[in-house]
Amino acid sequence: MGTSKQLLRLGNKAVIRHCIDTLLASGIKDIVVVCGAEYDACVSELEGTGASIVRNEAKISEMADSVRIGLQALDEEIPYSAVIVALSDHPLVSEQTCRTIVNFHREMPDKIVIPAFKGRRGHPSLFPTEVISDIFFVSSLRNLIRDEGDRVLVVDVPDEGVVLDMDTEEDYRVIAAKFAAREHSALAGE
């Protein structure tokens, strides 16, 4: 991408702020954000959200590395039943999707809950605590999901945001256009 995806703007906020605001609005309270090279800018962007922000010091790392760092930053005094892994390059995920994922967890607490849009798996994904702790023993979340295949629950959601990620400048332009159209619809009362 050539720049920090987390800090790209959608409207008047960085995409990382959109993601955190969505999680908070859906009722998720304990949020740990793992940032890399743009740590200071992320701290500034997320001021006032209540999110804990930790640094991934590695120059090159995988998503699983950031998940491990985030897990180590969780408050050990709180008995978490699950962890949602949300990616900042998926800024259009809806509050309702996050609520749906949490509600399925409440009904089936031993399941890994993965949202899908029109049959395509997306993010964020919810992992029961005893499953996500195995990330310290496998190389990736993909391997963890594969190893725990009988626990995976794929939930269809009417939210294209779960599959819209920003890996290229073109992806960002598409997301920015969809965001603008959504904001326009909201202002028009549609």
| pLDDT tens digit sequence for 15-28 | 999 999 999 999 99
C-beta separation of 98 from 26 below 8 A = yes
Mean pLDDT within 106-126: 97
What residue ranges define each of the domains in the chain, with the CATH number in brackets?
A: 5-188 (3.90.550.10)
Output the pTM of the full model.
0.92
Tell me the angle at which helices 95-107 and 15-25 cross, rounded to the nearest 10 degrees.
50
User: Can you tell me whether residue 35 is helix, strand or coil?
Assistant: strand
pLDDT confidence bin for 95, thresholds 50/70/90: very high
The pLDDT value recorded for residue 1 is 61
| pLDDT for 184 beyond 80 | no
pLDDT reported for residue 78: 83
**Angstrom distance (rounded) from CA 84 to CA 102:** 9
- The residue with tokens 């005893």 is 130
What CA–CA distance (Å, rounded) separates 176 from 170?
Answer: 10
Mean pLDDT of the region 60-64: 84
Number of H helices, E strands in the chain: 7, 9
CA–CA dist 116, 123 (Å, integer) = 8
Buried b (16+ CB within 10 A) or exposed e, 97-136: bbebbbebbeeeeebbbbbebeeeebbbbbbbeebbeebe
Residue 48 CA to chain centroid, in angstroms? 19
161-179: per-residue pLDDT in tens? 999 999 999 999 999 999 9
Comparing C-alpha atoms, which of 108, 120, 113 is closest to residue 158?
Answer: 120
